[in-house]
Amino acid sequence: MKLPILALITFAALPGAALGQELLTAPEKSNFEETTRYDGVVAIMAELARTSPLMHMDTFGVTVEGRAMPLLVVGHGLRDASPASVRATGKTRVYLQGNIHGGEVEGKEALLMMLRDIARGRHNAWLDSLVLIVVPIYNIDGNEKIDVRNRGRQHGPLKGMGVRANAQNLDLNRDHMKQDSPEARALVKLLADYDPHVGIDLHTTNGSLHAYHLTYAPPLHPGTNAGIVSMLRGTMLPEIRQRVKRENALNFYYYGNVNSRAQPREWGTFDHRPRFNNNYVGLRNRIAILSEAYSYDTFVNRIRSTRVFVDAILDHVTRNSSAIRRLTEQADAESIVGKQLPARAQFHRGGQIEILMGDVAREMNPYSGDTIFRRLDVEKPEMMTDLSTFEGTDWTTVPRYYFLPPDVPQRVKDNLANHGIRARRLARDTTIVAERFRIDSTSVAQRPFQNHQERTIFGSYEPAATQTLPAGTLVVDVAQPLGRLAFYLLEPRSDDGYTNWNFLDDVIDESRYYPIIRALR
């Protein structure tokens, strides 16, 4: 008989010696009042790599405060943790990440427990088809700033958790495109090197008092490959939701928060832009899933819900591993040149959907004296307007080439290379037929966001004309697997590209034209 997923998830209820004290997480050692610190995460990962032939440990970067960023690669037949060894297996590659926000800690704990279960011989079927690339703790510096008053009314861990930002006070889940932090640069390079087919990003909610144990989101950018979105919204996520409801009596649903100012009230998701992890991974033509455990559920229950979700995803990916690889290969092979893609987007106003609202009890954290919320098992159905998807605006024809002048800022060239976008240099002066974007006006945000004052330019492309490009001009051919990502970085009107993030401010302020030109053929 197939057991429910939750029945297969074990916590360390046995004495420490029975499990091996070195493999216990901090929650298991503390009756779920503490979260695992960086040194504890590294110690568990190192012990697993030492004792299990399936597991290979490495680091992939260094944080602002100088801590090495660990990863564990899990699979059969691996020589080591290198991208070459992982790719050589020919298996479906799955990237699992916890703790991008230092106070959202259950993903970290769930992944450590999952790794321990695999080392003990559970989930062998996964490794027949998959290789796992696991980063339990991404925002390491944020994780270490533990304080009992962090994250307000979240129900535990009662002895405190870390903070949202990294040591630069940057939100790492807004840094995928601009890469201002060493952590984001390391992560994006990891994604380029290992090229996982599936990315899973584990969070904790902030906000509405809904009744769901966990909410989730696929990529939200309307320019994402349609096949990726269709698989996630059409089969994968609905099947997982139905399974955990049937087998575990857990309610999962698409991520959202309630807008109470509207009547009827609205259920709205977060943001479409690829600065966010799951949107970014989607624009790389990969399956991406965001997980948000409900912050007012107890800490132990949030870990369980996250584990249920991760296990259900990996079960599904195992059963459909060949189809997922084919889908991503097709997405990579599909040329977007000549198609219409949106440079910007806005909420799509859908119909009425039923949302389960909940309630909480107010309790006192015994260590801080502050009020915290505990989820009650209450469901109050309410019809709301669906704002869970986006529709494109500023649609434009995707060109074949972008041409970056030799004097374009070096940070643009470095950023392109770190994303893995292929480019080449013109060896000699070359005459082409290309379009220039004429800037009519520009707008700069008054308030800084993530240390930037975001910029929007207004104008239009002039008719194509003959132009001579100097030797050293950088050429980006959009007919490549990362063509969508290149488009959103390089288009002048993009709401998450180089213009938005001030990469080109000096040039834009001094010229009537956007410095990067393009050719449709």
pLDDT of residue 521: 86
The confidence band for 401, taking pLDDT boundaries of 50, 70 and 90, is: very high
> What does the alpha-carbon distance between residue 329 and residue 119 come to, in Å, rounded to a whole number?
31
Task: Name the pLDDT band for 17 (thresholds 50, 70, 90).
Answer: very low
pLDDT in tens, 430-442: 999 999 999 999 9
Going across the sheet that includes 424-425, the strands are 424-425, 474-477, 401-404, 517-519
Q: At what angle do helices 237-248 and 299-319 cross, to 10 degrees?
A: 130
- pLDDT value, residue 11: 53
- pLDDT of residue 509 exceeding 90, the answer is no
pLDDT of residue 19: 52
Contact 74, 139 (CB under 8 A): no
Q: Nearest to residue 421, comparing CAs of 476, 340, 380?
A: 476
Q: How do strand 130-135 and strand 92-98 relate by DSSP bridges?
A: parallel
Residue 403 to residue 473: CA distance in whole angstroms: 6
Q: What region does 77 belong to: left with phi over 0, alpha with psi -120 to 50, or beta? A: left
Give the whole-angstrom CA distance, residue 214 versus residue 250. 8
Query: What is the token pair recorded at 2?
Result: 């197939």
What DSSP line would sit under 24-85, residue for residue? --HHHHTTTSS---HHHHHHHHHHHHHH-TTEEEEEEEE-TTS-EEEEEEE-TT-SSSSHHH
Average pLDDT score, the chain: 95
343-354 pLDDT per residue, tens: 999 999 999 999
Task: Write out the residue limits of the CATH 3.40.630.10 domain(s) in the chain.
Answer: 5-334+356-371
Calpha distance 393→49 (Å, rounded): 48
Q: What is the pLDDT of residues 138-190, one digit of tens each?
A: 999 999 999 999 998 999 999 999 999 999 999 999 999 999 999 999 999 99
- CB neighbours (10 Å) of residue 211? 20
Cα distances (Å, whole numbers) of residue 248 to 3, 10, 110, 113, 201: 10, 14, 17, 19, 22
What percent of the chain is modeled with pLDDT above 70?
A: 96
pLDDT at 186: 98
Domain 5-334+356-371 in this protein, CATH class: alpha beta
Mean pLDDT, rounded, for 205-209: 90
pLDDT of residue 207: 82
> 129 pLDDT exceeds 60?
yes
Task: Find the mean pLDDT for residues 19-38.
Answer: 92
| pLDDT value at 375 more than 70 | yes
Tens digit of each residue's pLDDT (9 = 90 or more) over 82-103:
999 999 999 999 999 999 999 9
Report the share of the chain in percent with pLDDT over 90.
Answer: 94
